[in-house]
């Protein structure tokens, strides 16, 4: 019933540790944020952007949703990206997928998940496009991880089509878009080498997506 209290207690322990290591940390942070990175990740509780990158509060601007999707009509996501690029002037945007992603696995199943289908259908479009390639992977766990990596490439590609990102590229070659993959079983983050920072690169990327 009162399990939520462990979070408040945890906060007190955490802030004590941070203050011990760096007494000025919170007073400096209160002056404002200037994160250099925007992270678009999955809502999965096992993939928190700050912790897995060894970062502290203030370093990463974050948007998370089920299966780290970049949907062009998602006004919430677009507002986060716009604010990050125009006001915070972040130079790097990272789309991060992960192993054993429940959203990816659900989208690959041939059954309905009710209301969630409305979101999962974005992933299903990508899945069906890559069905031949994915059916060659017989292990179900490896197949869903392969799909999660394809999904990251697709979402980087989607990001590369966003109007104001293209406008920024014309002005100065930033932000750079990256696609990463996080392996839950060993805690390792991997760069999928699908980085893009120009419309020309985006067009090339579409050949492999």
Q: Which stretch binds Co ion (CB under 5 A): 11-19, 22-30, 81-89, 93-101?
A: 93-101
Catalytic residue among 13, 17, 36, 46: 46
Nearest distance, CB of residue 57 and Co ion, angstroms:
23
Among 44, 122, 153, 197, the active-site one is 44
For Co ion, the closer of residues 13 and 185 by Cβ is 185
In 3-state terms, what secondary structure has residue 120?
Answer: helix
Q: Is 128 a catalytic residue?
A: no
Q: Which is the catalytic residue, given 96, 101, 178, 197?
A: 101
Strands 176-183 and 188-191: antiparallel
Cβ proximity of 41 and 55 under 8 Å: no
Cβ closest to Co ion, residue 103 vs residue 175: 103
The token pair that represents 28 in the structure block: 């400096």
Is 98 designated active site? yes
Considering 63, 96, 98, 122, which one is annotated as catalytic?
98
Length in residues, the chain:
209
Q: Binding Co ion by CB under 5 A: which of 38, 85, 94, 101?
A: 101
Q: How far is CA 175 from CA 82, 88, 127, 128, in A?
A: 11, 11, 28, 30
Helix, coil or strand: residue 20? helix
In the complex, the smallest distance separating the C-beta of residue 204 from Co ion, rounded to whole angstroms, is 27
Least distance between Co ion and beta carbon 155 (Å): 12
**108-147: contacts with Co ion (CB under 5 A):** none
- 8-state DSSP, 196: B
Alpha helices in 41-100 (DSSP H): 49-52, 75-82
Active site residue 101: yes
Helices (H), the chain: 5-21, 25-29, 49-52, 75-82, 102-108, 117-129, 131-135, 140-159, 163-172, 199-208
- Establish if 177 lies at the interface with Co ion (CB under 5 A): no
Q: Could you confirm whether 92 is annotated as catalytic? A: no
The yes-or-no answer on residue 46 being catalytic is: yes
Contacts (CB under 5 A) with Co ion, residues 21-50: 42, 44
- Which positions lie near Co ion, rule CB under 5 A? 42, 44, 101, 103
Residues annotated as catalytic (active site), given as ranges: 42, 44, 46, 98, 101
């Amino acid at each position: 019933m009162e399990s939520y209290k462990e979070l408040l207690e945890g906060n007190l322990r955490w802030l004590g540790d941070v203050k011990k290591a760096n007494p000025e940390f919170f007073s400096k942070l209160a002056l404002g944020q200037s994160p250099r990175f925007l992270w678009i990740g999955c809502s999965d509780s096992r993939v928190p952007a700050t912790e897995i990158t060894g970062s502290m509060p203030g370093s990463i601007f974050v948007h998370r949703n089920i299966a780290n999707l970049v949907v062009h009509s998602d006004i919430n996501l677009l507002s986060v990206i716009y604010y990050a690029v125009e006001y915070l002037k972040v130079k790097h945007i990272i789309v991060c997928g992960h192993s054993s992603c429940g959203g990816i696995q659900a989208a690959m199943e041939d059954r309905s998940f009710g209301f969630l289908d409305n979101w999962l259908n974005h992933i299903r479009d990508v899945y069906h496009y890559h069905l031949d390639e994915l059916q060659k992977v017989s292990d179900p766990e490896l197949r869903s991880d392969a799909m999660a990596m394809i999904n990251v490439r697709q979402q980087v590609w989607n990001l590369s089509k966003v109007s104001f990102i293209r406008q920024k590229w014309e002005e100065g070659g930033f932000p750079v878009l990256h696609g990463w993959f996080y392996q839950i079983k060993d805690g390792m983050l991997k760069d999928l080498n699908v980085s893009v920072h120009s419309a020309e690169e985006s067009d090339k990327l579409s050949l492999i997506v």
